[in-house]
Amino acid sequence: MSEPAEVQAAYALLMAAMLNRDIVDAMPRGAYASMPGDIRRRLESHIYQTAFDGLPEDVRMEAELLAYGDPDVVEARRIHARG
């Protein structure tokens, strides 16, 4: 990745936020409920998304272009949309 460090960091924050949401969405409710509380709280936390949202708009936009242009992210979103 040849983007500036702040864009790389923003990309990492966005990917972490997306991953946490995807894990929670994909997990059976029973398995999620039986998780240790500290892990469940980390998954429920919006710390990554909040940190990402606090970044300058131009940095967020560049990171979003990277994330949503990533073939793995595109495929994951396609699979998720199918249910």
- Whole-model pTM over 0.75: yes
What residue segments make up the domains of the chain, in order of their start? Answer: 5-82
For the segment 3-44, what is each residue's pLDDT rounded down to a tens digit? 999 999 999 999 999 988 888 888 899 998 999 999 988 888
Mean pLDDT of 48-57: 96
The residue assigned the tokens 């606090």 is: 54
pLDDT at 9: 96
* C-beta atoms surrounding 48 within 10 Å: 19
Mean pLDDT of 39-50: 89
* C-beta atoms surrounding 16 within 10 Å: 15
pLDDT reading at 2 higher than 90: no
SS3 82: helix
- Nearest-angstrom CA–CA distance, 60 and 23: 22
Q: What percent of the chain has pLDDT over 70?
A: 98
CA atoms within 13 A on the CB side of 30: 0
Look up residue 59 and give its two tokens.
């940095």
